[in-house]
Amino acid sequence: MLTFEKILETDASLPSWVDPDAKQVMFFDIETTGLSPERAFIYLIGCVYYTEHSWRTLQWFAENSSEEFLLLKNFLTLSRRYSHLLHFNGNRFDIPFVTKKLAAYSVDETPGYQRSTDLYRTLAPLKGLLGLRRLNQKSLEEAAGFHRTDPYTGKELIGKYFHWRTHKQDAELLELLLHNFEDLSGMVRLLGLLPLVRPEESIENVAARLTPDSLLITAGLNIPAASVSIATPAGRLETRGASLSLELPVENGTLRHYYPDHANYVYLPEEKTILPKAMADTIAASRKTPAAPMTCYQSVPADPRLADDPSALTVLLLHTLEAVRAM
């Protein structure tokens, strides 16, 4: 078994709503020779943990199938130090695969974590906002500004692994390690998208500048965010480091104030307004339609006093972000 360790060069931080103690969290990812635990084996387990003010990676690499058990034992030993396991789509693949392998070896022990967070599910609400066709790790990484150097899929690396076992070429070993390393480092960098998942837990010091054409809302963030710039139907959204901004258009002296519970409203296209469903029973069906996230709004005056009201700005910001996430 080969072991490799590195320090990640990143300022990524873990939001307190995920876990208030980063030192209790461990990311993990596995590489296997196939999808079936009964026919394939694990040849690489990688982990990331936080210690001494930095994120560190640890990889165990099996030189042959007989070392799979050693990989699993090392993973179990390390996992006992952490109460919270993070992964990407691990609920469907990594965790069941490891569990079945431990059972096959008649190992009674289980990984020591008490909580498990799947970043795939956590980040799923951002698919529409980020304009993603596919909700896979690579697409989310690119949206967060992280671009891989590894060109291979996990499936493509299976052949490379067996070729390496025969020829022991250093270049192939580095390719196998790089794929898993970028899976691990990519997950850490995905933390920069989490302020958009729960902005109410992340924003602070909300302010604004009003012009005849737009209202620019700015806010500080309590954890570093990925560099994102998106033209949404509601306005341009940008995050970078410890800041977030949302520029809303002013149309004929009004702003759109979105309502988050669009399922409870109907939209009246002729009037360009909404009504609660309970108040729309007498309106002809031809004049109304179920409200969608982007049509569930009221036009409100672009009052200069709004720019000096942090509470109202916060509500406007959060409601708009919730609407564009629900697209």
Q: Is the pLDDT of residue 111 over 80?
A: no
Residue 52, pLDDT score: 83
Mean pLDDT of 232-241: 95
Strand partners, 225: 241
Collect all residues with Cβ–Cβ distance below 8 Å to 314 and sequence separation of at least 6: 203, 206, 219
Residue 35, pLDDT score: 93
| Reported confidence tier of residue 260, pLDDT bands at 50, 70, 90 | confident
Q: Is the pLDDT of residue 285 over 80?
A: yes
pLDDT digits (tens, 9 = 90+) for 20-33: 999 999 999 999 99
Q: Is the pLDDT of residue 317 over 80?
A: yes
Task: Write phi, then psi, for 271 (nearest 5 degrees).
Answer: -90, -15
Residue 272, pLDDT score: 85
CB 40 within 8 A of CB 30: no
Residues 191, 206: one domain? Answer: no
Residue 11, pLDDT score: 87
Residue 100's CATH number: 3.30.420.10
Residues 220, 302: one domain? Answer: yes
> Which of these three, 195, 229, 259, is where a domain ends?
195
> Which of these three, 167, 195, 223, is where a domain ends?
195
Percent of the chain, pLDDT > 90? Answer: 90
Total domains in the chain come to 2
Average model confidence (pLDDT) across the chain: 94
Residues 186, 254: one domain? Answer: no
pLDDT digits (tens, 9 = 90+) for 63-85: 999 999 999 999 999 999 999 99
Residues 250, 159: one domain? Answer: no
DSSP state of 250: P
Collect all residues with Cβ–Cβ distance below 8 Å to 77 and sequence separation of at least 6: none
Task: Write phi, then psi, for 133 (nearest 5 degrees).
Answer: -80, -35
